[in-house]
Structure 1
Amino acid sequence: MGRMNEPPRLPEGGFASWSRDRLAMACRGADECGDVWQLEPGVYVAATAGPCEEVLRRAQDFPKAPSPLFPPLKRSSGAPTPEERVHAHAARMRGLRPQTVAARIGEIAPGTARFADQWPLGEDVEVLPVVRHTLAEIGVRYLFSEDAPTLLPYASQLFLAREVLVRPSRWVWPRWIPTPARRFRTRQQVAFTDALRPIVRRRRSSGRLGDDVLGQMLRPSPRHGLLPEEAVLDTLPGITVATFETPSRAAGWILLGLARHPQAAGRVAAEAALLPADPAATTSTHLDRLQYTQALVREVLRLHPPSWLLTRRTTRQTQLAGYTIDAGSTVLVCPYTAHRDAREHSEPDQFQPERWLDGPGSPAKPGVFLSFGTGPHGCEGEALAMAMLTLLTAQTARRCHLSEPPGPGPSHQVTTLEGLATVGLRLRATSRSREQSRFP
């Protein structure tokens, strides 16, 4: 007989049902079981706003599993120490904090305008590859400035290595086994590092460190001094892919939202008409004025959080929402259902960007908005991602009417394995002006 205070279990649940339709089962679990429910013995789902926020904030009780996508490379000189990794993360964050992003809006905006300008009109376009390339150009340039063209091809290969690594497999191999996917990842990681190393050495020897994220990492800290070269190199593959991988999934949902909600798209277009004719002249003041556009982006991410499920493991027996969670348990944090918590959002399944303008909802309220996580492991690139997505949304609506292609079949497939994505999404654009333009 189970403990009296353990979370309820969904009837006819379990991993077999979960694997068939994760979203449907997550919603059913939240509806039938409440705040926290049991998927399997030792596996629990935090389903509503309060418990999700609590798990993400309590990092000591619910730490993030140590499974880096790009683990440190094995070198004769040795890997960076844990302390050096902490210092490298802090240095990287100096280049990603909101005030730093705000100062560089003029570098982000031109890429988003080119994306909209070059959309082929009157054709069905597969969106995600094009938007991913655009955001990769923007993200890599934000990290590495004038050295971005050199590193962009290697960043694309890092993304491909990630895709290969996370593909579904019948077998879950121990981490120490060098599977073909892991060997491919290592080769791409080595290639990226080998391309980045001479850039680091050139900048340091010349004294021209740069004002980008890499430059911030090369500057000595008053407290810790210079970061060792290996600490700089090892921390950058993951954040390089992160600047465009998750934002690309988000952009797919946003562009689909513009297509399905033409009135909202028109309101974004009217707001975007006030942006400078020269995208490079865009400033944080212009970005701040895109209030409805930001609300639309936030509403899309509320309904379709790209990272819809986050995994945590308990280090000790603890309490969550009044239930006892044993040490060693897995807790799945589900922003997808938390964002549909009717106690936090009126008509939670409805697309209402205005809720972020007129209603009591605030992204700062605990548990209300978790698309970028929260707590010690919240997304460090949130400010950059929101800037890229807001400007991409504004520039696209300013230039194009989007629609789903006519036809009996869906415009995309929804996948949930490694994030919530619109795989194969195809959209059609017509111009809001007389200009006709194409992707190169």
Structure 2
Amino acid sequence: MTALSAGSPGRPPAHGHAADDIDLDRDDLMGRMNEPPRLPGGSFAAWNRDRLALARRGAEECGNVWQLEPSVYVAATAGPCEEVLHRAQDFLKVPSPLFPPLKRSSGSQTPEQRAHAHAARMRGLRPQAVAARIGEIAPGTARFADQWPTGQDVEILPPLRHTLAEIGVRYLFSEDAPTLLPFAPQLFLAREMLVRPSRWVWPRWIPTPARRFRTRQQVDFTNALRSVVRRRRSSGHLGDDVLGQMLRPSSRYGPLPEEAILDSLPGITVATFETPSRAAGWILLHLARYPQAAGRVAAEAALLPVDPAATTRTHLDSLQYTQALVREVLRLDPPSWLLTRRATRQTQLAGYTIDAGSTVLVCPYTAHRDAREHFEPDQFRPERWLEDSGLPAKPEAFLSFGTGPHGCEGAALAMAMLTLLTAQTARCYHVSEPPGPEPSYRITTFGGLTTVGLRLRATLRG
């Protein structure tokens, strides 16, 4: 009788199947009971109205992991965020649609080629490689300070992007940077068109105007880069920059196919300046709001060489407070404040069941405000990153560059650029916001955390 009542009406209870059905129903029920809590009032509509506020409310009211919509979860605190990012097999990085490989008859890259390309790029981007080229990075940051018009309110993100694009493209391509730099603004514009919020989510195969524009810019850049690659290979002078590292044959895989080099570099090129320019906007805003901290940065920067090209790793290492300030701004306002992962199988996260196919949003913005990791997490305290800060808790979680297998390849380069730009600016200027009760900017969260329209004023430091 029990078996009949538990099974489907009218179906005869074949031997063993009814009990199995009970077990499956119980497992399914327990899985649903073990879901992360649903945030009251949470929905995609509420999320899109104010994503930062809803992210903070979710972390405060629901804890480590919470549910935004069915099968959409937010990892809100440090532990679950780090776990998701490290468990790359269970939580797959969602492929970026920004600069997909161009369609060619040669087909797509093999996993081995992708691994070889990544390893080759990292030879040019690892901390030791960046440190050896500090003298090439510093002059660009000094030019930014020299060219900032004083005594007037300036919309600062465009010149920041221009400066950091010059530095990034030169770091990637050295003497060929003048040939390739003109394509950087158009690649950036293509990215911005693709990440703008839209009422409609079009399938990837539909050639929307933004995608057609992206493809045209990618093709133009790739054609110019192809000429550089072939000239270097035919001459035998591969170069010591990041492109040169990619052109060097691997003892295991041999030389990278031309397409493997060309496909990966449009995205890398934009990444060298797009995210750092957003970060730099937040940093300069903090210099304006915390003049005492800016003065301490200026005191450190006074010891930098008069000739920026003479800057070395030792000089960079001496900017300890400046690096702490940069790190603290990135903690409070991480430019990449939300990362998307997809669960490849049913698994556990922070004691909850996450079904296969679910989306997990990793939120460094709220993880960095985890009081278990950071003392007084909402306060701007660069000293927390110094060993002698005397604060009762040592910060542990720092996810502004991600972590795990898919951590940011350019983290060392970005930190070097941002530290030197901060030091050079504070050495020359007092930075201030325009007067008035309202901020001169608006915060956007689509495609990154950005101070759109930020205006600042520089006055010479006496």
What range describes the TM-score normalised by the shorter chain of this pair? over 0.9
3-state SS, counterpart of residue 31 of structure 1: helix
CA RMSD of aligned residues (A): 1.2
The answer for the alignment partner of 2:153 in structure 1 is 124
Quick check: 1:324 aligned with 2:363? Answer: no
Quick check: 1:145 aligned with 2:174? Answer: yes
Consecutive aligned runs of 4 or more in structure 1 exceeding 6 Å deviation: none
The answer for the alignment partner of 1:176 in structure 2 is 205
Identify the match of residue 425 of structure 1 among 439, 448, 454: 454
Q: Kindly state the Cα deviation for residue 78 of structure 1 after the two structures are TM-superposed.
A: 3.0
Contact 2:112/2:253 (8 A) holds in 1: no
Identify the match of residue 391 of structure 1 among 420, 433, 449: 420
Quick check: 1:230 aligned with 2:286? Answer: no
Letter of the structure 2 residue corresponding to residue 244 of structure 1: F
* Cα shift readout 1:276-304 (whole Å, capped 9, x = no counterpart): 00000000110000000000000000000
- % of aligned pairs identical? 85
The answer for the alignment partner of 1:136 in structure 2 is 165
3-state SS, counterpart of residue 54 of structure 1: helix
Letter of the structure 2 residue corresponding to residue 150 of structure 1: T
* Cα shift readout 1:385-427 (whole Å, capped 9, x = no counterpart): 0000000000000001000011243121111111101000000
Q: Kindly state the Cα deviation for residue 169 of structure 1 after the two structures are TM-superposed.
A: 1.3
Distance (whole Å) between structure 2 residues aligned to residue 190 and residue 15 of structure 1: 35
Distance (whole Å) between structure 2 residues aligned to residue 10 and residue 198 of structure 1: 54
The answer for the alignment partner of 1:10 in structure 2 is 39
The answer for the alignment partner of 2:79 in structure 1 is 50
Q: Kindly state the Cα deviation for residue 59 of structure 1 after the two structures are TM-superposed.
A: 0.5
Long gaps (5+) in structure 1: 434-440
Distance (whole Å) between structure 1 residues aligned to residue 196 and residue 54 of structure 2: 22
Q: Kindly state the Cα deviation for residue 362 of structure 1 after the two structures are TM-superposed.
A: 5.8
Letter of the structure 1 residue corresponding to residue 307 of structure 2: D
Long gaps (5+) in structure 2: 1-28
The answer for the alignment partner of 1:352 in structure 2 is 381
Distance (whole Å) between structure 2 residues aligned to residue 362 and residue 280 of structure 1: 35
Contact 2:94/2:342 (8 A) holds in 1: yes
The answer for the alignment partner of 1:284 in structure 2 is 313
Identify the match of residue 84 of structure 1 among 102, 105, 113: 113
Quick check: 1:406 aligned with 2:435? Answer: yes
Distance (whole Å) between structure 1 residues aligned to residue 403 and residue 273 of structure 2: 20
Distance (whole Å) between structure 2 residues aligned to residue 231 and residue 55 of structure 1: 28
* Cα shift readout 1:134-183 (whole Å, capped 9, x = no counterpart): 00000000000011011011121111111111111111000111111111
Distance (whole Å) between structure 1 residues aligned to residue 317 and residue 393 of structure 2: 19
Q: Kindly state the Cα deviation for residue 83 of structure 1 after the two structures are TM-superposed.
A: 2.2
Distance (whole Å) between structure 2 residues aligned to residue 78 and residue 28 of structure 1: 46
Q: Kindly state the Cα deviation for residue 361 of structure 1 after the two structures are TM-superposed.
A: 6.0
The answer for the alignment partner of 2:9 in structure 1 is none
Distance (whole Å) between structure 2 residues aligned to residue 415 and residue 260 of structure 1: 20
Any residues of structure 2 matched to 1:338-377 within 5 Å, and which? 338-357=367-386, 358=389, 359=391, 365=396, 368-377=397-406
Distance (whole Å) between structure 2 residues aligned to residue 5 and residue 407 of structure 1: 50
Quick check: 1:34 aligned with 2:66? Answer: no
3-state SS, counterpart of residue 3 of structure 1: helix
Contact 1:89/1:235 (8 A) holds in 2: no
Which structure has more RCO (C-alpha within 8 Å, separation ≥ 6)?
Answer: 1
Distance (whole Å) between structure 1 residues aligned to residue 86 and residue 323 of structure 2: 25
Contact 1:73/1:79 (8 A) holds in 2: no
Contact 1:36/1:46 (8 A) holds in 2: yes
Distance (whole Å) between structure 2 residues aligned to residue 30 and residue 79 of structure 1: 41
* Cα shift readout 1:182-212 (whole Å, capped 9, x = no counterpart): 1110100000000011111111111111110
Distance (whole Å) between structure 2 residues aligned to residue 360 and residue 257 of structure 1: 24
Q: Kindly state the Cα deviation for residue 360 of structure 1 after the two structures are TM-superposed.
A: 6.5
How many residues are treated as equivalent by the alignment? 430
Distance (whole Å) between structure 1 residues aligned to residue 247 and residue 185 of structure 2: 24
Distance (whole Å) between structure 2 residues aligned to residue 428 and residue 258 of structure 1: 11
TM-score normalised by length of structure 1? 0.96
3-state SS, counterpart of residue 312 of structure 1: strand
Identify the match of residue 331 of structure 2 among 284, 299, 302: 302
The answer for the alignment partner of 2:292 in structure 1 is 263
Distance (whole Å) between structure 1 residues aligned to residue 304 and residue 208 of structure 2: 49
The answer for the alignment partner of 1:382 in structure 2 is 411
Letter of the structure 1 residue corresponding to residue 342 of structure 2: R
Distance (whole Å) between structure 2 residues aligned to residue 310 and residue 222 of structure 1: 34
The answer for the alignment partner of 2:134 in structure 1 is 105
Distance (whole Å) between structure 1 residues aligned to residue 34 and residue 304 of structure 2: 56
* Cα shift readout 1:224-280 (whole Å, capped 9, x = no counterpart): 111111111111111000000000110000000000000000000000000000000
Higher mean displacement: 339-348 or 77-86: 77-86
Distance (whole Å) between structure 2 residues aligned to residue 274 and residue 360 of structure 1: 31
